[in-house]
Amino acid sequence: MPSNTSASPQTTSASAAPVSVTPWKACTDEDLKGLECADVSVPLDYANPQGEKITLAISRRAHKGSDFKGVVLTNPGGPGGLGRTVPNSAANLPNNVGDSFDWIGVDIRGVGGSKPQVSCIPDYFATPQPVFRPGDDAATQKWIERVNAYAQACKTSDGFKVLQHMTTLDNAKDLDSIRRALGVDKVHFWGTSYGTYLGQVFMTQYPQHVDRVVLDSVADPNKGWYQSNLDQNVAVTKSFRVFLEWVAKNPNMFHLGTDADAIERKTFAKIDELAAKPPAGAGSSELIASLIKAAYGVGYWPMNGQLLDVVLNKNDLQGLDEGKDPNPSDNSYAAYLGVECSESTWPDIQTMIADARRLEPENQLMTWSNTWLNGPCATWPVPAKSLTAVDGATFDKPFLMIGETLDGATPFSDALAVRDRFASARLVEGKNGSTHSSAFSASPCVLDTIAAYLTTGDVPARAAGSVADKECPAVAPLPTS
């Protein structure tokens, strides 16, 4: 991200914006079963708080019993992830700690149940996707035309008015509007991946209204989105290698032998074969999109190991997932671009292609996929703003950060950089793990640390140097037999 602009903490800026909340009712969506839902009305443009309003869809897992410890606002990352499902994950915390809080899930502006929705080309991710790695100049030009067309479609879409107001600062102001609509002076915050940057902005802008904070899989807001994506290509390579080594340790289950190097060569040879002669349906791009999931964590490993088995040994492509990971829906994708393209300077598409060609030989899995995923940013129709500053001196309350050593989506070096910025931060490391967004599925060591912090405010002692403050076992892969 480019150098952050200076930004003073907000005291009453969002409070000038009128907000309202509808009564809580039982959610009707199947994936929100057991939660309550409501809508919050907020300004489209906080610079014009009396102007047009939009609606944010929120959910609640209400506290149980008399030991109420406050409201937890949450964000699942993306940006653009569906947030209303998050509160159900509070049940994973040990000793029923989650029952002492009201957990609030939020579909950020333009996403999911929030209105109006953003969407640019509804079938953009229909199978088959074009081959990610362009084999010649003609293929490269087709991709350039494709990503430019997406950006143009966003400009003419019904949701363009929302896409013009989708920065992280807008989302932070929405969080404070939700806080006020709920009638509480202070909230806790739990953010994952992109949500950790949103959390840092929220903490910086409204320190007097934020209490306990858990940031899971931490993003460094000082790098810029473009550099973050380049770094992600490299980190995913390392985490995917961990997956291949696990596959090699389970030859009886996946029938691919015991040599991780050989499995890797065979995998990318198959990707090249499918790219050279694309099948009528799912092909090389869908295989890449599916395998990227393995680099996001151990929960995907059995499924992806079995996928390699049937693809490499049987040439069976039926198991390939449709769509593009990690943003398979156009709604989430448009919102992802709406945030990242409009609050960080992006190079032109030729520079992005040149960087892809430089990185791809050593980082084959994600480089071209990530390049085209972010390609619309090169001609994004909303002028880029500078990122909102994150000031570690503004928020002095102890808070927790969670991350695994080989996280591919948010490299662990990002967590260390943020820890260095906040003297009050405490970093818990899942040692040698490669799972992204690991906190709710973490080892008892991590979960107990989180539970103690949420219950009492206790955090591990601050270690000397730029290191984690506590090491724990990583998220363990599922048994293979």
Mean pLDDT of 114-126: 96
Mean pLDDT of 128-140: 94
> Angle formed by the axes of helices 260-276 and 225-248, to 10°?
120
CA atoms within 13 A on the CB side of 227: 12
The pLDDT of residue 429: 98
The dihedral region occupied by 297, where left means phi > 0, alpha psi between -120 and 50, and beta the remainder, is: left
Alpha-carbon distance of 304 to 295, in angstroms, equals 10
CA atoms within 13 A on the CB side of 255: 9
What pLDDT, in 10s, does the model give residues 351-365? 999 999 999 999 999
The catalytically annotated residue of 321, 355, 391, 407 is: 407
CATH number assigned to the domain comprising residue 210: 3.40.50.1820
Residue 11 pLDDT exceeds 80: no
Of 125-129, 229-233, 405-409, 428-432, minimum mean pLDDT range: 125-129
Which is nearest to 100 in space by CA: 90, 110, 109?
90
262 and 403 together in one domain: no
Alpha-carbon distance of 282 to 278, in angstroms, equals 8
Q: How many domains does the chain have?
A: 2
100 and 213 together in one domain: yes
CA dihedral 402, 405, 408, 411 (to 10 degrees): 70
Q: Is residue 179 part of a domain?
A: yes
What pLDDT, in 10s, does the model give residues 159-171? 999 999 999 999 9
211 and 334 together in one domain: no
Percentage of residues in the chain with pLDDT exceeding 90? 89
CA atoms within 13 A on the CB side of 19: 26
239 and 363 together in one domain: yes
List the structure tokens of 153: 């479609």
What pLDDT, in 10s, does the model give residues 313-346? 999 998 885 433 444 589 999 999 999 999 988 9
Domain boundary among 383, 401, 431: 383
Residue 138 pLDDT exceeds 60: yes
Alpha-carbon distance of 388 to 110, in angstroms, equals 20
Mean pLDDT of 8-20: 57
Active site residue 407: yes
Alpha-carbon distance of 15 to 170, in angstroms, equals 14
Q: Is residue 200 part of a domain?
A: yes
141 and 212 together in one domain: no
**Where in the sequence is the domain holding 197, given as residue range(s)?**
14-117+164-220+388-473
Mean pLDDT of 137-160: 97
List the structure tokens of 444: 């008892």
List the structure tokens of 67: 């030991």
The pLDDT of residue 386: 87
- Model confidence at 9, in pLDDT bands (50, 70, 90)? low
The catalytically annotated residue of 193, 329, 344, 369 is: 193
Which is nearest to 341 in space by CA: 225, 421, 436, 262?
225
Evaluate whether 305 touches 263 at the Cβ level (below 8 Å). no
Mean pLDDT of 264-270: 98
Residue 14 pLDDT exceeds 70: no
207 and 95 together in one domain: yes
The pLDDT of residue 344: 83
The pLDDT of residue 6: 39
Evaluate whether 476 touches 432 at the Cβ level (below 8 Å). no
Evaluate whether 99 touches 65 at the Cβ level (below 8 Å). yes
200 and 260 together in one domain: no
Which is nearest to 118 in space by CA: 78, 85, 87, 89?
78
Alpha-carbon distance of 283 to 460, in angstroms, equals 48
CA atoms within 13 A on the CB side of 203: 31
CA distances from 85 to 60, 112, 113, 167 (A): 9, 11, 11, 22
* DSSP structure class, residue 42: E
106 and 243 together in one domain: no
What pLDDT, in 10s, does the model give residues 407-439? 999 999 999 999 999 999 999 999 999 999 999
pLDDT higher at 221 or 284: 284
Active site residue 436: yes
CA distances from 169 to 33, 88, 202 (A): 31, 26, 8
Residue 12 pLDDT exceeds 70: no
Alpha-carbon distance of 325 to 323, in angstroms, equals 7
Domain boundary among 359, 383, 407: 383
The catalytically annotated residue of 436, 437, 438, 469 is: 436
- Model confidence at 267, in pLDDT bands (50, 70, 90)? very high
The dihedral region occupied by 289, where left means phi > 0, alpha psi between -120 and 50, and beta the remainder, is: alpha
Q: Is residue 478 part of a domain?
A: no
268 and 303 together in one domain: yes
Q: Is residue 196 part of a domain?
A: yes
The pLDDT of residue 325: 46
Q: Is residue 288 part of a domain?
A: yes
The pLDDT of residue 124: 95
The pLDDT of residue 478: 82
Q: Is residue 1 part of a domain?
A: no
The pLDDT of residue 319: 80
The pLDDT of residue 479: 77
Alpha-carbon distance of 105 to 89, in angstroms, equals 10
Domain boundary among 334, 359, 383: 383
What pLDDT, in 10s, does the model give residues 176-206? 999 999 999 999 999 999 999 999 999 999 9
68 and 209 together in one domain: yes
For strand 187-192 and strand 210-216, is the pairing parallel, antiparallel, or unpaired? parallel
Q: Is residue 481 part of a domain?
A: no
- Phi then psi dihedrals of residue 106, to 5 deg: -135, 125
Mean of the per-residue pLDDT values of the chain: 93
Evaluate whether 403 touches 426 at the Cβ level (below 8 Å). no
191 and 230 together in one domain: no
What pLDDT, in 10s, does the model give residues 447-480? 999 999 999 999 999 999 999 999 999 999 987 7
Beta-carbon contacts of 195 under 8 Å, excluding residues fewer than 6 positions away, are 74, 75, 76, 77, 215, 216
Three-class SS state of 180: helix
40 and 172 together in one domain: yes
Alpha-carbon distance of 50 to 75, in angstroms, equals 26
The pLDDT of residue 328: 57
- What Rg value do the Cα atoms of the chain yield, rounded? 22
Q: Is residue 265 part of a domain?
A: yes
CA-based angle 79:298:250, to the nearest 5?
Answer: 150
The secondary element (H helix, E strand) that includes residue 204 is helix 194-205
Q: pTM for this one?
A: 0.94
